[in-house]
Structures are given as structure tokens and as C-alpha cells.
């Protein structure tokens, strides 16, 4: 699928795609309208990124490079990269911002399929609005809600407007902006498997696209059993004829290797790999995005990043509420197999050739494929039971009306995973995820080894485990990065103590951190695939977990019960102990101002 | 630890439990001013033993982790008690008033002094005990974090303070002192500490008299001396020779108060108790190290001493060089003083002597800012008009060993600059094959990691890292992983003199400078100092209150470095 790219001067305002460049394109790849838009994507996205950056003081760097997405040809890619990587002076960004007068403009139509659902209301529409508010959306865009319920445009707007909020750091003109945004929102009612209804949608979209080059993004916010139906209809009846068409899907992506593969096969009947955007919203979290920056842009960390210095890594996720009527899938599939495993792969991967999506995802797949499938003896599962505290009774998992009384579904799981490659041989990667625990948090802990031949051994007392360095990346809440170091307690004598070298995001960065969905939607619009999950990644991930999940179900393994609001099953400690590790989230840490 | 009471202070019998015990007779011999070069090894053991006692007593009320001294505390119950007599020679001087007496009081207040102790002031002026107490009491202060009973404690402390007037070179006067000391010691086992807070030209006289006429007959006698220790290799060698006529090496405690600073003490802890730093501690990862000292005032009418020494001798050759040695040394066999000092000497001896090309000297000139005029160095009444003495110096030093070959160690020290600060900056190398190169623009120097240890003011450790700026897009920025002592440790940090006095009493020599260290230090600087003087190199003038002479930047640029203290990254 070699593509050639039209030459264009790198950054003059006139480099917005023009029809002729598209024609040229289509000639070279007659087979697929869908994959032909790379060059457009670049320019469009350059334009978008510049827009979104315009209000910030740029360090002379624009975001172009992030836009070099999955491109089929490495050579052209390289050329392009060479052109766009060196920074563009800020003035240039300024010039481009003002540009929007080309005759042939492009437009993006974003269709939220399942518009009346919870996710759509709580996350997707607000994220789209935030992008609009930040000037990150292109000039021409249309948002369509699609669902079965009968609604008018006004009713949709009414519904959407209730959940829109403005960023804390710039509230000016918020209601004005909101009105402008809502005017771009429309609704179309239809069945999810009706080609006819999608043809109607197509007609409406065309109306709004008004002859511009059209790019279409479908966000499937619907149950997985109708993914394929919708993709089929959208693919056949509502995809863009001269721009790109992309589909964002949300987990679950199957429930084991087989069902996931079947889903992928189904999707691929109608879509190319690079049209499928599997969202894992954890990859859009600020501190997860920062992992690669920390590792690869600081000299300090990379030399330490191996079995020689790292004793274990921990990936911890906890929620302080139960399933509340939305259980059934199990915590392993819901959190571990996707979110935590994705973060693990980012942490453990080798240095990629570049920051391009394909290079990063290639490295992630390598990590996943080097991993041992999970063993039952390396897993602890739990399920929360009811608990009464101060007169308030919290319901147990099986008390939920939606849950069968004899459900064995885990609401908590801890697991030890291993990567059998040269870098990580023997290093336990511990994961822990649970609902109805005592806190809500997501963090990554890197525990370093003991200092060999430590001169200060005596000063630490018996428990050398308390004396190792630890790097903690707190993803939520209250984003922070800290490195636990040993330090002399100020004063006479020589007593050691752990202190933190601390970076507290709220103190350092006054801006509100954007929601993961904003970043991911913007990336999908820009064709940046770095944070989306490729089919082979997904396969590899399921391969690790499927045997375990089957064994749990076949053997009807009973989860250890733990009280609602507790720290989870005690056996998690025995699992850690088996590998001579201590969970880092249980030590008492001083609170940072 | 449990035994915080003053009764746990060491006594001879407590040595009985120590497998490395020292026979009493040997101990006596050791403490007389006789050279016995084969003894110090044994002596060290007893010192570390004694040191433990102090640690347990002075643990600031925190529980100690798992170290026990109980047995010793019990064993000594019936033993003969010891006493320490601390004689401040030059008691009416500035240092004594500002630093030594307040430090002694702070130690007393913190229960770090033994139960029995006496403080004697010795000087030429005629003073009564009462007048001395009066003088001292004005400068005593209480620690911010516990002011309770402060005035009670002050009164108790002052009751232990006495004065004896005498000439510094008079054996007779020291004999009188000895009699007075004996009276106070009241038959207990006496240990004596002399703090020489006097000009260097009378060091040897005072040491001679103290040693012949006022040293302890049965306990130890130690002498603390303050800089300057000579002004070049020859004079320093001469001073050491003279001191050694009357004292053994292990009786000489050369103080470098920078070594008593909290964050300098912490340097070894950081390096050796954290896995994350030691792998990075070499030429492979460290691009350069900067040791920076600045004061925001000039000589202010007290330039007599300074003018004959200059900033290089006053700050660089001792304070900054000592910190450098601690920073760069190999891992010592243990934390014992001799092991650490052995490693420091090795660093000093591996260093290239300073080259004139690698040094920039400056002198501050007058400057008018607003309505206020700051005088130049040579305007000062205590300074000759044509003085070429450096009030600022910057230098590049090199350690030619396997760990540090080719890594520039930059030093900078100056008076009358725009701020007051002392800090150590470790600048790391670029990330090889940096994936994020495109994000940093042209200036990769801005993108390297840096570890900063701010010794004063406002103690802090921070590590500058590259971080993604939160938000959409991918923009990088430098942020600090920060440890601000004030926020983390609410306690006031003790003055360096407290620590050093306590160590001297405990016989802990880690923070004092051994004769061979001093020799090695002078050997590095003496040729340069002579060349500066012989060639009458004129210092570059810089305005009072400025950032110093521009020459420092050219020096740094020569080694492709940037001074780290000029960026605005401080938190």
C-alpha cells in the first residue's frame, strides 16, 4: 500500500489540502478511499494542532510531529517527519491560525452512535465541547447524535447542554461558546442495524457538509453486540466519499481471545485497520501520556530501567464504590486486561525507533508477546460483601439486583505477571484492581532494589524493604510524580528517613488537566493512533488472560470476600510475599501540601 | 533509643563491654602529647563507641531504628564519672560570641552535653566570670521549636561558664587555667577540649602552652583549630609541623564548618543509601558538577584578614574543595572517619593542579542603585587602595581518575554578588538518541537533567526533569522533583558549629580535615596562587550586587557548559 505524498512547502499558509492534491492521491490508491487521506490528514491536523496550541506560550515547538500517524510507507513518512519535526517558529503558528479562506475547505462530521447513553452524555459531548472551546476543532464541523429514541435536534441540545461545563481556567464567554457549539449539534433517530436509516443520516450529513471535503468520525457508544451491525451500516451507507471515515469503539472488545478475534474479523469486513480506533481511555490520562516522556527524555531514568535496578513494578487501581447495577464483566476484563496491561506495556517496552504510533505499538506488542500467560496461582480474586459503618450499610456485590445471587464474578483481582525478555526476566509486575475499596486511586509504583553493600545498612534497622527507592506516578486523583529517597533527618546524629522528591501537578501547573476523552477524540480526528489499540496488541493481550479467565470459570473459583470500603482481600499480601514484594500503596506516606 | 538521659554518658568502665576495649593505661598514654603512630587504630574503635553514646542522646527525640546501647548504660552506673572541660581560647572574639557559645548552649539545651561539663573562656582581656556570662548571654538563643524553659536552661548553662584571663603564649597563665579546670573537674576523669578562636599566628603558642600545662592527665585532650591553615603549601606544612610538636594527629581537629552543614552531611547519604543515584555517578552520565558560593555583602570594614587571603583561600581551597571531594570520592569501606578521609585524599591527589587558564578572578567595584551607593572593595578603609585581592573567583577543576576523567568541576565563589547562596549542581548529559529531540528546539542544554543540592539558604534538594506539559498536544517542559526541607522538616536545622563541636567531643573525625588532606588541597592551589601574585593578575571588576564578572561565562563556555544558577528554575 505504498502511498506517495504530494510535495508541499512545509509550512506556508497555503498548504491546506486542495482538491487537486486529493485527486492525485486517489489516483495512487484507487482501491481505498479510506486510506488515501493521509496527506490530507497531515495538513489538516497540522492546522488543527496549531489552532489548539495558539493560546499557549509555545516553546517554539508545535505539535506537528504528533500527527505523523500510522502511515504505510516508512520512507515517505521519514521525509515528512524530517520536514515537520524541527520546530516551527511561533510566528508561523500565528500566521496559520488566521488562515481559513481557502476555497475548498474540509469538514469533520462526528456521529455519536448511542447518543442518549451515559458515556455520551457524561464524556463524549463534554469532551467535544471542551475541544471546541479550546479552538481545537476545525472551523467546519458537525456533530450528530444517533440513537433509537425519537428526539428533535432541540431535545438533543437540551440534553447535551446539561452536562457541558467550562474549563476552570477560562470561563469567559462560556455560555456564548456553548450556544455556538449546540448549534452544530443535530440528532438523527434510527435503528442501529438499518442501512436505510444510515442512508438517511448520510443525506443529512451531506447537507451539513455543504460540498466540502468530508471526514467522518463515528463514535460507537453502544453495547458490543451491535458493534458490527453499526459498523456495517455506517461503512456501507454513511462513510465519506472523498475524505476519511474512522470509527471509535469502546471496550469491551470481546471477552476472550476467540470473541475478540471474532469481533476484529467482523470489523475488518467493513473497515481497514487504520480506520479502527479502539479507545482505552487510560492511555489518554495525562500521567500515562507522560510515562514515555519521563523514560525517554530524561537521562536519569533509562539507565535504571531494567532488572538490574528495578525489583518490581506495581500497577494499582482502586475505586471506592461498587458496581451499582453495572457489573457482570468482571474486574479482570474490565480493568486489568486493558488499562493496566496497556500501562505495563508502555512502562516496559524497549525504546521505540520513533514516537510514531506504529513504532510505539510495535514495541508494546513485543512486550505483550514476551509475557507469560497468567497462572492461576499468581492471581488472587475477591468480591466485596456488604458492610455497615456508622449506621450506613453498603450493599455487597451480590445484593445488586442485576447480579445473580451466586455470582462468582471478581470485583477485585491481584496478579503477578512476568516478562520473559532480557530486560525484565524475573521482575514481578504486580497488578491490583478493585471496586468498593477504601480509596479511589490509580498509580504506578516502581520499586528499586536494595543498595548493594549499603554503607548505611545499620541506620535502617531490620526492614531493608523500607529503605529502597521508589518512583511513584499517581495517575489519579491529584496527579503527582514522586521519587522516594533516603535522606538524613536534619539534626545532630545520623538518622535516615525516606523523603520524597515531589512534583505535584496541581501546584506546578495551574491549568486544569484535560479529560482523557478530549485527548483521544482530538487524536482520532487527527489520525494519531499512538493511544489506540491495534488489533495485534489486542490479540496479544487476550492471549495472556484468556487461559486464566477460562480456568477461573471452569473451576468455579470462589472469590475471597472483602467488606465494602476495606483494603481488599488479605490474600493479595500473600501473593506479593510470594515474590518477596510489599505493596507500596499500604505504607503510610506523608501528605504533601 | 531509650537511653536519652544524661547518665548514659560514657565512662571508662563502659569500655569493659566493648570487645575492642582499650586498657586504661594505654588510654592515658594516648592522650598525652606524645606521638604514638600505632595507636590511632585502636583509638578509632573507642571513638566510634563514644560516638554512639552521643547519637543516642542527640537523636532529636525520634525513635532510633534498631540500635541498642542499653547494656553500656547499665554497666556504667557504678563507674567513675567523666567530665569535659571546654576552653574557648579567644573568648572575647567575634566567632566565639556569635557561634561557639551559642552552639554550646544549643547542645546543652538539647541535652547533648555530658552531665558534667565546664566551659572556660580564655583571653587577654580582664573579665570576671560574671562579665563573661553577661557577654555570652546576649548572643544565646533558643531553638525555635522548643522554647520551653529556655531562660532556666540559660541560667543553668551560664553557671557552668567561667573566665580566665591570660596571655596566649604564657605557660604560666595556662598553668593557672589548669588549676582552675582541675577544681571544676573535682576528681572526675577529665577530658579537655580547646577551641582556638584566635589569629593563626598565635595558634602554635597557644597549642604549646595548652599542651604542656593544661592538658588532661588521665582523659583526652583535643584542640579545634579554625581556618586559615596557612596560606600555601609551605606555610600550611609549617603550621602542621609545629602543631605536631605538641599534638598527635588525632588530637588536631581542623574545622571546616561547611562540612557541618546539613546538606553537605546529606551528600553521602544521598549517594550511598539510594540505589537511584550511584549508577549515575560517573563521567558516563554526569556532564559537569558546579559548586557555587555567593554572598550578597562585601568585606564591610573587616577586610584586614580577607585581603591577605582572598576568596580562593577563604572559600575555594577549603569549603568548596572539601565538598567536591565528598561528592566525587569512591565508596569508602565504611563510614568511619579514616575510611572517608582516605577516599577524600585519593580524590584530591587525583586532581590536576589548577591552571591559570582555568581560573577567572574578579573584584567588586562601587555601584549606585537608586539612592544607595555600595562601596567598592578598595574603598573599604581596611583594604589597601591598590589591592589585587580576588573577591570573586571561578575555576574549572579536573579529576584525572577513571570515574571522572574529562568531567569539569566548576567552582565559583564571590562576595558582594546579587544573592547569598551555596549550592551544588550536578548537570547530567544529554539523553543519547533522544526521541524527543524535536521538542526541545535548538537548545539541548536546556533539556538535560540536573540535581541541585541547595546548602543555603532554604535547604532543598531538587531534581530537574523533563515532563510533558499537561494538556492536549505534546509539549515538554522542565519541572522539579522537589524536596524543600522547610516543608518536610519543620524542625530548625542545627548550626554547623553544633554538629562539629559535638563530633569533636565524641571524637568523631569524619568532618574534620586530616593533615594529608590539607596538604593535598594546598598542593592543588599553591602554584596558581603564586602565579596570580607573581604575575600581579588584575581581577576583572564587577559592580557590587551584580552577578559577577562576565569572565565566568567564558570559562564555562570553554568547557561547553552553562552555569546552572542563572536559569530561573528555582522553586
Nearest CA in chain A to B464: A298
User: In which element (H, E) is residue B540 found?
Assistant: strand B540-543
Three-class secondary structure of residue A480 per DSSP: strand
Residue A173 has a pLDDT of 79
Residue B418, phi then psi, degrees to nearest 5: -80, -15
- B341/chain A closest Cα distance in angstroms: 15
Chain A residues with CB-CB distance to B470 below 8 A: 286, 479, 505, 509, 511, 513-514
- A7/chain B closest Cα distance in angstroms: 22
Residue A221 has pLDDT above 90, yes or no: yes
User: In which element (H, E) is residue B129 found?
Assistant: helix B129-137
Cβ-nearest to B491 among A490, A495, A508? A490
- Interface touch A503/B449, C-beta < 8 Å: no
- Interface touch B266/A49, C-beta < 8 Å: no
Q: How far from each other are the two terminal CA atoms of chain A, in whole angstroms? A: 55
Q: Which of A452, A491, A502, A505 to mutate to test the interface with B (most CBs of B within 10 A)?
A: A491
At residue A499 the predicted structure's pLDDT band, cuts being 50, 70 and 90, is confident
Give the mean model confidence (pLDDT) for residues B385-403. Answer: 96
Chain A residues with CB-CB distance to B55 below 8 A: 493-494
Residue B72 has a pLDDT of 47
Chain A residues with CB-CB distance to B287 below 8 A: none
Chain A residues with CB-CB distance to B480 below 8 A: 503
Q: Does B276 touch chain A (CB under 8 A)?
A: yes
Residue A464 has a pLDDT of 63
At residue A83 the predicted structure's pLDDT band, cuts being 50, 70 and 90, is very low
pLDDT digits (tens, 9 = 90+) for B156-192: 999 999 999 999 999 999 999 999 999 999 889 999 9
Chain B residues with CB-CB distance to A487 below 8 A: 266, 269-270, 461, 483
Q: Which of A297, A353, A526 to mutate to test the interface with B (most CBs of B within 10 A)?
A: A297
From the list B168, B58, B520, the residue with the least C-alpha distance to B317 is: B520
Alpha-carbon distance of A133 to B385, in angstroms, equals 68
Give the mean model confidence (pLDDT) for residues A186-203. Answer: 94
Residue B64 has a pLDDT of 33
pLDDT digits (tens, 9 = 90+) for A124-180: 999 999 999 888 999 899 999 999 999 999 999 999 998 887 765 566 778 888 999
Q: Which tops the pLDDT comparison, A532 or A105?
A: A532
pLDDT digits (tens, 9 = 90+) for B217-274: 899 999 999 989 999 999 999 999 999 999 999 999 999 989 989 889 899 999 999 9
Q: How far from each other are the two terminal CA atoms of chain B, in whole angstroms? A: 36
For cell 564555562, the residue is B556
At residue A579 the predicted structure's pLDDT band, cuts being 50, 70 and 90, is very high
Residue A374 has pLDDT above 70, yes or no: yes
CB distance B449 to B280 below 8 Å: no
Rg over CA atoms, chain A: 25
CB distance A459 to A495 below 8 Å: yes
Q: Which tops the pLDDT comparison, B409 or B263?
A: B409
Which region among B109-123, B438-452, B546-560 has the lowest average model confidence (pLDDT)? B438-452
Q: Does B4 touch chain A (CB under 8 A)?
A: no
Residue B567 has a pLDDT of 58
Which region among A158-172, A226-240, A341-355, B90-104 has the lowest average model confidence (pLDDT)? A158-172
Residue A461 has a pLDDT of 67
Alpha-carbon distance of B44 to B49, in angstroms, equals 8
Give the mean model confidence (pLDDT) for residues A448-456. Answer: 87
pLDDT digits (tens, 9 = 90+) for B338-370: 999 999 999 999 999 999 999 999 999 999 988
Question: Which segment, A23-37, A155-169, A362-376, is predicted with the most confidence on average?
Answer: A362-376
Chain B residues with CB-CB distance to A52 below 8 A: 472-473
Which region among A406-420, A537-551, B323-337, B446-460 has the lowest average model confidence (pLDDT)? B446-460
From the list A541, A537, A529, the residue with the least C-alpha distance to A247 is: A529
Residue B145 has a pLDDT of 62
The count of CB pairs under 8 A between chains A and B is: 239
Residue A78 has a pLDDT of 39
Residue B445 has a pLDDT of 67
Residue A328 has pLDDT above 80, yes or no: no
Looking at A216-318, list the stretches that DSSP marks H as alpha helix, in order from N- to C-terminal side: 227-237, 257-270, 286-297
Q: Does B278 touch chain A (CB under 8 A)?
A: yes
Residue B130 has a pLDDT of 94
Q: Does B440 touch chain A (CB under 8 A)?
A: yes
pLDDT digits (tens, 9 = 90+) for B495-511: 889 999 999 999 999 89
Q: Which tops the pLDDT comparison, B406 or A7?
A: B406
Residue A515 has pLDDT above 90, yes or no: no
Cβ-nearest to A296 among B279, B431, B502? B431
Q: Does B475 touch chain A (CB under 8 A)?
A: yes
Residue B39 has a pLDDT of 36
Chain A residues with CB-CB distance to B427 below 8 A: none
Q: Does B430 touch chain A (CB under 8 A)?
A: yes
At residue A511 the predicted structure's pLDDT band, cuts being 50, 70 and 90, is confident
CB distance B490 to B145 below 8 Å: yes
Alpha-carbon distance of B525 to B529, in angstroms, equals 6
User: Chain-wide mean pLDDT for chain A?
Assistant: 81
Long-range Cβ contact pairs of B143-150 (< 8 A, separation 24 or more): B143/B106, B143/B109, B143/B110, B143/B492, B144/B492, B145/B490, B145/B491, B145/B492, B146/B109, B150/B109
Alpha-carbon distance of B334 to A106, in angstroms, equals 71
CB distance B192 to B87 below 8 Å: yes
- B260/chain A closest Cα distance in angstroms: 10
Catalytic residues of B, by residue number, are 319
Question: Which segment, A166-170, A365-369, A387-391, B210-214, is predicted with the most confidence on average?
Answer: A365-369
Cβ-nearest to A61 among B270, B441, B462? B441
Residue A400 has a pLDDT of 86
SS3 assignment for A89-147: CHHHHHHHHCCCCCCCCEEEEEEEECCCCHHHHHHHHHHHHHHHHCCCCCCCEEEEEEE
Residue A421 has pLDDT above 60, yes or no: yes
Catalytic residues of A, by residue number, are 339
Q: Which of A298, A310, A464, A497 to mutate to test the interface with B (most CBs of B within 10 A)?
A: A298
User: Chain-wide mean pLDDT for chain B?
Assistant: 84
Give the mean model confidence (pLDDT) for residues B483-492. Answer: 81
Residue A523 has a pLDDT of 92
Q: Does B270 touch chain A (CB under 8 A)?
A: yes
Give the mean model confidence (pLDDT) for residues B417-433. Answer: 93
Alpha-carbon distance of A192 to A232, in angstroms, equals 10
Residue B48 has pLDDT above 80, yes or no: no
Chain B residues with CB-CB distance to A486 below 8 A: 269-270, 273-274
B124 is written with which cell numbers?
587577654
> What percent of chain B is modeled with pLDDT above 70?
83
Give the mean model confidence (pLDDT) for residues A431-435. Answer: 96
Residue A57 has a pLDDT of 35
Alpha-carbon distance of A368 to B170, in angstroms, equals 83
Chain A residues with CB-CB distance to B567 below 8 A: none
CB distance B89 to B125 below 8 Å: no
- B178/chain A closest Cα distance in angstroms: 31
- A65/chain B closest Cα distance in angstroms: 8
> What percent of chain A is modeled with pLDDT above 70?
79
From the list A567, A568, A529, the residue with the least C-alpha distance to A274 is: A529
- Interface touch A300/B435, C-beta < 8 Å: no
- Interface touch B494/A490, C-beta < 8 Å: yes
Q: Does B502 touch chain A (CB under 8 A)?
A: yes
Residue A444 has a pLDDT of 95
How far from the centroid of its chain's Cα atoms is residue A331's Cα? 18
Chain B residues with CB-CB distance to A136 below 8 A: 472
What ipTM describes this predicted complex?
0.77
Give the mean model confidence (pLDDT) for residues B16-25. Answer: 38
Alpha-carbon distance of B2 to A592, in angstroms, equals 31
Cβ-nearest to B62 among A300, A468, A495? A495
Q: Which of A492, A499, A518 to mutate to test the interface with B (most CBs of B within 10 A)?
A: A492
Three-class secondary structure of residue B30 per DSSP: helix
Q: Which positions 281-300 of B are in contact with A (Cβ < 8 Å)?
A: 285
Give the mean model confidence (pLDDT) for residues A415-433. Answer: 97
Residue B545 has pLDDT above 80, yes or no: yes
**Residues contacting residue B167 through CB under 8 Å, at least 6 positions apart:** B124, B173
Cβ-nearest to A297 among B331, B332, B476? B476
Residue A30 has a pLDDT of 38
Give the mean model confidence (pLDDT) for residues A6-31. Answer: 38
Amino acid at each position: 500500500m505504498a502511498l506517495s505524498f504530494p510535495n508541499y512547502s512545509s509550512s506556508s499558509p497555503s498548504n491546506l489540502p486542495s482538491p487537486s492534491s486529493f485527486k492525485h492521491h486517489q489516483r495512487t490508491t484507487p482501491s481505498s478511499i479510506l486510506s488515501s487521506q493521509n496527506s490530507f490528514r497531515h495538513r489538516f491536523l497540522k492546522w488543527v494542532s496549531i489552532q489548539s496550541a495558539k493560546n499557549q506560550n509555545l516553546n517554539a515547538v508545535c505539535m506537528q510531529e504528533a500527527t505523523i500517524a500510522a502511515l504505510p510507507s516508512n520512507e515517505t513518512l521519514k521525509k515528512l517527519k524530517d520536514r515537520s519535526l524541527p520546530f516551527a517558529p511561533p510566528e508561523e503558528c500565528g500566521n496559520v491560525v488566521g488562515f481559513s479562506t481557502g476555497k475548498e475547505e474540509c469538514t469533520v462530521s462526528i456521529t455519536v452512535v448511542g447518543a442518549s447513553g451515559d458515556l455520551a452524555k457524561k464524556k463524549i459531548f463534554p469532551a467535544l465541547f471542551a475541544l471546541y472551546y479550546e479552538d481545537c476543532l476545525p472551523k467546519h464541523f458537525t456533530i450528530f447524535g444517533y440513537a433509537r429514541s425519537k428526539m428533535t435536534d432541540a431535545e438533543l441540545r437540551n440534553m447535551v447542554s446539561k452536562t457541558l461545563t467550562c474549563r476552570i481556567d477560562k470561563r469567559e464567554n462560556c455560555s456564548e461558546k456553548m450556544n455556538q457549539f449546540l448549534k452544530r449539534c443535530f440528532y438523527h433517530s434510527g435503528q442501529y442495524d438499518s442501512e436505510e436509516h444510515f442512508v438517511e443520516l448520510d443525506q443529512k450529513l451531506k447537507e451539513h457538509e455543504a460540498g466540502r471535503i468530508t471526514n467522518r468520525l463515528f463514535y460507537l457508544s453502544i453495547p458490543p453486540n451491535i458493534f458490527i451491525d453499526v459498523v456495517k451500516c455506517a461503512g456501507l451507507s454513511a462513510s465519506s466519499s472523498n475524505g476519511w471515515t474512522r470509527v471509535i469503539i469502546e471496550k469491551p472488545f470481546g471477552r476472550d481471545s476467540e470473541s475478540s478475534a471474532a469481533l476484529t474479523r467482523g470489523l475488518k469486513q467493513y473497515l481497514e485497520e487504520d480506520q479502527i480506533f479502539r479507545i482505552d481511555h487510560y492511555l489518554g490520562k495525562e500521567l500515562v501520556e507522560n510515562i514515555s516522556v519521563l523514560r525517554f527524555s530524561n537521562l536519569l531514568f533509562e539507565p535504571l530501567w531494567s532488572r538490574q535496578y528495578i525489583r518490581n513494578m506495581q500497577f494499582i487501581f482502586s475505586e471506592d464504590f461498587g458496581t451499582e447495577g453495572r457489573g457482570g464483566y468482571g474486574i479482570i476484563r474490565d480493568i486489568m486486561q486493558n488499562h493496566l496491561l496497556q500501562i505495563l506495556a508502555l512502562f516496559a517496552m524497549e525504546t521505540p525507533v520513533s514516537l510514531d504510533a506504529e513504532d510505539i505499538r510495535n514495541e508494546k506488542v513485543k512486550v505483550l508477546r514476551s509475557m507469560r500467560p497468567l497462572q492461576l496461582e499468581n492471581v488472587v480474586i475477591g468480591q466485596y460483601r456488604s458492610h455497615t459503618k456508622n449506621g450506613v450499610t453498603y450493599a455487597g456485590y451480590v445484593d445488586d439486583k442485576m447480579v445473580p445471587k451466586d455470582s462468582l464474578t471478581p470485583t477485585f483481582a491481584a496478579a503477578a505477571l512476568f516478562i520473559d525478555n532480557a530486560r525484565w526476566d524475573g521482575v514481578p509486575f504486580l497488578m491490583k484492581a478493585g471496586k468498593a475499596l477504601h480509596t479511589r486511586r490509580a498509580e504506578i509504583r516502581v520499586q528499586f532494589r536494595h543498595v548493594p553493600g549499603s554503607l548505611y545498612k545499620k541506620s535502617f534497622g531490620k526492614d531493608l524493604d523500607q529503605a529502597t527507592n521508589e518512583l511513584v506516578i499517581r495517575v489519579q486523583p491529584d496527579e503527582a510524580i514522586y521519587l522516594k529517597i533516603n535522606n538524613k533527618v536534619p539534626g545532630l546524629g545520623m538518622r535516615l528517613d525516606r523523603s520524597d522528591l515531589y512534583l505535584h501537578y496541581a501546584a506546578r501547573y495551574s491549568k486544569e488537566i484535560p479529560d482523557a476523552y478530549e485527548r483521544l477524540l482530538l487524536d482520532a480526528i487527527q489520525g494519531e493512533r499512538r493511544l489506540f489499540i491495534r488489533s495485534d496488541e489486542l490479540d496479544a493481550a487476550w492471549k495472556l488472560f484468556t487461559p486464566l479467565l477460562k480456568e477461573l470459570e471452569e473451576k468455579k473459583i470462589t472469590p475471597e470476600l472483602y467488606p465494602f470500603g476495606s483494603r481488599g482481600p488479605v490474600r493479595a499480601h500473600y501473593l506479593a510475599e510470594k515474590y518477596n514484594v510489599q505493596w507500596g500503596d499500604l505504607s503510610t506516606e506523608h501528605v504533601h501540601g | 533509643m531509650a537511653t536519652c538521659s544524661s547518665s548514659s554518658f560514657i565512662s571508662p568502665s563502659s569500655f569493659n563491654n566493648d570487645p575492642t576495649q582499650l586498657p586504661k593505661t594505654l588510654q592515658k598514654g594516648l592522650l598525652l602529647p606524645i606521638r604514638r603512630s600505632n595507636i590511632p587504630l585502636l583509638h578509632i574503635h573507642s571513638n566510634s563507641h563514644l560516638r554512639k553514646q552521643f547519637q543516642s542522646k542527640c537523636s532529636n527525640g525520634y525513635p532510633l531504628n534498631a540500635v541498642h546501647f542499653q547494656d553500656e548504660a547499665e554497666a556504667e552506673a557504678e563507674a567513675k564519672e567523666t567530665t569535659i572541660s571546654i576552653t574557648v581560647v579567644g573568648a572575647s572574639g567575634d566567632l566565639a560570641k556569635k557561634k561557639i557559645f551559642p552552639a554550646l548552649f544549643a547542645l546543652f539545651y538539647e541535652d547533648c552535653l555530658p552531665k558534667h561539663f565546664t566551659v572556660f573562656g580564655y583571653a587577654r582581656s580582664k573579665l570576671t566570670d560574671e562579665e563573661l556570662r553577661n557577654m555570652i548571654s546576649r548572643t544565646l538563643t533558643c531553638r525555635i521549636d522548643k522554647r520551653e524553659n529556655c531562660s532556666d536552661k540559660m541560667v543553668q548553662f551560664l553557671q557552668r561558664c567561667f573566665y580566665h584571663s591570660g596571655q596566649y603564649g604564657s605557660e604560666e597563665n595556662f598553668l593557672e587555667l589548669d588549676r582552675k579546670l582541675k577544681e571544676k573537674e573535682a576528681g572526675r576523669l577529665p577530658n579537655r577540649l580547646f577551641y582556638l578562636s584566635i589569629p593563626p599566628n598565635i595558634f602554635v603558642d597557644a597549642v604549646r602552652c595548652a599542651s604542656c600545662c593544661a592538658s588532661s592527665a588521665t582523659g583526652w585532650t583535643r584542640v579545634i583549630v579554625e581556618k586559615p591553615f596557612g596560606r600555601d603549601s609551605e606555610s600550611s606544612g609549617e603550621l602542621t609541623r609545629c602543631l605536631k610538636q605538641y599534638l598527635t594527629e588525632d588530637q588536631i581537629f581542623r574545622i571546616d564548618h561547611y562540612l557541618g552543614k546539613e546538606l553537605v552531611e546529606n551528600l553521602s547519604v544521598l549517594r550511598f543509601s539510594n540505589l537511584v543515584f550511584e549508577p549515575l555517578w560517573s563521567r558516563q552520565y554526569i556532564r559537569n558538577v558546579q559548586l557555587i558560593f555567593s554572598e550578597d555583602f562585601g568585606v564591610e570594614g573587616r577586610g584586614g584578614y580577607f585581603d591577605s587571603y582572598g576568596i580562593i583561600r577563604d572559600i575555594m581551597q577549603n569549603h568548596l574543595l572539601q565538598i567536591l571531594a565528598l561528592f566525587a570520592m569512591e565508596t569508602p569501606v565504611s563510614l568511619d572517619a579514616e575510611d572517608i578521609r582516605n577516599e577524600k585524599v585519593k580524590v584530591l591527589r587525583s586532581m590536576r593542579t589548577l591552571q591559570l587558564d582555568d581560573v577567572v578572578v574578579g573584584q567588586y567595584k562601587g555601584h549606585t542603585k537608586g539612592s544607595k551607593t555600595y562601596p567598592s572593595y578598595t574603598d573599604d578603609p581596611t583594604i589597601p587602595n591598590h589591592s589585587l585581592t580576588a573577591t570573586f573567583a571561578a575555576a574549572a577543576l579536573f579529576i584525572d581518575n577513571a570515574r571522572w576523567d574529562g568531567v569539569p568541576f566548576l567552582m565559583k565563589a564571590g562576595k558582594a554578588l546579587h544573592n547569598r547562596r551555596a549550592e551544588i549542581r550536578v548537570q547530567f548529559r544529554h539523553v543519547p538518541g533522544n526521541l524527543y529531540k524535536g521538542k526541545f528546539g535548538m537548545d539541548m542544554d536546556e533539556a538535560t537533567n540536573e540535581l541541585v543540592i541547595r546548602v543555603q539558604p532554604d535547604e532543598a534538594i531538587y531534581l530537574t526533569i523533563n515532563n510533558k506539559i499537561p494538556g492536549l498536544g505534546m509539549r515538554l517542559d522542565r519541572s522539579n522533583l522537589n524536596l524543600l526541607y522547610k516543608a518536610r522538616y519543620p524542625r530548625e536545622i542545627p548550626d554547623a558549629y553544633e554538629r562539629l563541636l559535638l563530633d569533636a567531643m565524641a571524637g568523631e573525625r569524619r568532618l574534620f580535615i586530616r593533615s594529608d588532606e590539607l596538604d593535598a588541597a594546598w598542593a592543588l592551589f599553591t602554584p596558581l596562587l603564586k602565579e596570580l601574585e607573581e604575575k600581579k593578575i588584575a581581577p576583572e571588576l564587577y559592580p557590587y550586587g551584580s552577578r559577577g564578572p562576565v569572565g565566568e561565562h567564558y570559562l564555562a563556555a570553554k568547557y561547553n557548559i552553562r552555569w546552572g544558577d542563572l536559569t530561573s528554575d528555582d522553586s
